[in-house]
Chains A and B, each alone.
Chain A
Amino acid sequence: GESVGLHLPTLSVQEGDNSIINCAYSNSASDYFIWYKQESGKGPQFIIDIRSNMDKRQGQRVTVLLNKTVKHLSLQIAATQPGDSAVYFCAENTYNQAGTALIFGKGTTLSVSS
């Protein structure tokens, strides 16, 4: 079936480093991808999205890269801060009976030490 997964369950970095979180997806027909950040005890928070007609999209301190050839998605966080510590999920859009739905990957826990 369709699935979205992340390469590493955990990532530890030092404050100020750049972080790269990876995600592999399986559905080549997916046309939209999102990265979410989930802090402990909270719901997922939208970070950045990208459509399949783009290779790269930049936000504030974050960049998402999409490689459709190998079905790979990555989230780059520049100058990582302790407040970036959270679980990061990628999600891809799919189409179902209700219209559209998001399929979430397994998540990567980012730990930032100062």
Chain B
Amino acid sequence: SAVISQKPSRDICQRGTSLTIQCQVDSQVTMMFWYRQQPGQSLTLIATANQGSEATYESGFVIDKFPISRPNLTFSTLTVSNMSPEDSSIYLCSVGTGLSYEQYFGPGTRLTVT
């Protein structure tokens, strides 16, 4: 399985600001995903970020709020824009090998918006 790191691991931000979360993988992967996990809840897919194409967003998530970059096969960023307290969550990236449907997750970024 791939080793995935995220930066920052946590942050406290003021409302109205933006935060960019980085996801780095130790090997080249085709598929990368971004999830949100609200406190005490399950994971909800925000978008799929495949290299060489625009990110595909799930219902309820829009590019203006969560712009994503995928410049190469080992790196992606998710920006949480114009933050409000409702954006306080853990944001997780995951990768898919493309050989099967399993995904491997990073440690997450814990975001608190005040």
* B interface: dominant SS: strand
With an 8 A cutoff between CB atoms, is B92 at the interface? yes
Contact between A93 and B101, CB atoms less than 8 A apart: yes
Q: Name the CB-closest residue of B to A5.
A: B42
Interchain nearest-CB distance for B5 vs A (Å):
11
Contact between A101 and B45, CB atoms less than 8 A apart: yes
Q: Which residues of A contact B56 (CB under 8 A)?
A: 96-98
Binding stretch for chain A, among B71-79, B81-89, B102-110: B102-110
* A interface: dominant SS: strand
Q: Which residues of B contact A96 (CB under 8 A)?
A: 48, 56, 58
Contact between B45 and A42, CB atoms less than 8 A apart: no
Q: Which residues of B contact A97 (CB under 8 A)?
A: 56
Contact between A105 and B108, CB atoms less than 8 A apart: no
With an 8 A cutoff between CB atoms, is B43 at the interface? yes
With an 8 A cutoff between CB atoms, is B67 at the interface? no
Q: Which residues of B contact A42 (CB under 8 A)?
A: 107-108
How many residues of A are in contact with the other chain, CB < 8 A? Answer: 24
By size class, the interface of chain B is 20 to 34
Q: How far is A100 from B1 in the complex, measured between Cα atoms in Å? A: 19
With an 8 A cutoff between CB atoms, is B13 at the interface? no
Q: Which residues of A contact B104 (CB under 8 A)?
A: 46
* Known A-B contacts A97-B56, A100-B96; A107 and B42 likewise in contact (beta carbons under 8 Å): yes
Interchain nearest-CB distance for B112 vs A (Å):
14
With an 8 A cutoff between CB atoms, is B31 at the interface? yes
Contact between A106 and B48, CB atoms less than 8 A apart: no
With an 8 A cutoff between CB atoms, is A25 at the interface? no
* Known A-B contacts A32-B101, A42-B107, A44-B105; A98 and B42 likewise in contact (beta carbons under 8 Å): no
Q: Which residues of A contact B4 (CB under 8 A)?
A: 43
Q: Name the CB-closest residue of A to B50.
A: A98
* Known A-B contacts A98-B48, A99-B48, A102-B103; A44 and B43 likewise in contact (beta carbons under 8 Å): yes
Q: How far is A36 from B44 in the complex, measured between Cα atoms in Å? A: 14
Interchain nearest-CB distance for B46 vs A (Å):
11
User: Which residues of B approach A to under 8 Å, CB–CB?
Assistant: 1, 4, 31, 33, 41-45, 47-48, 50, 56, 58, 92, 94, 96, 100-108
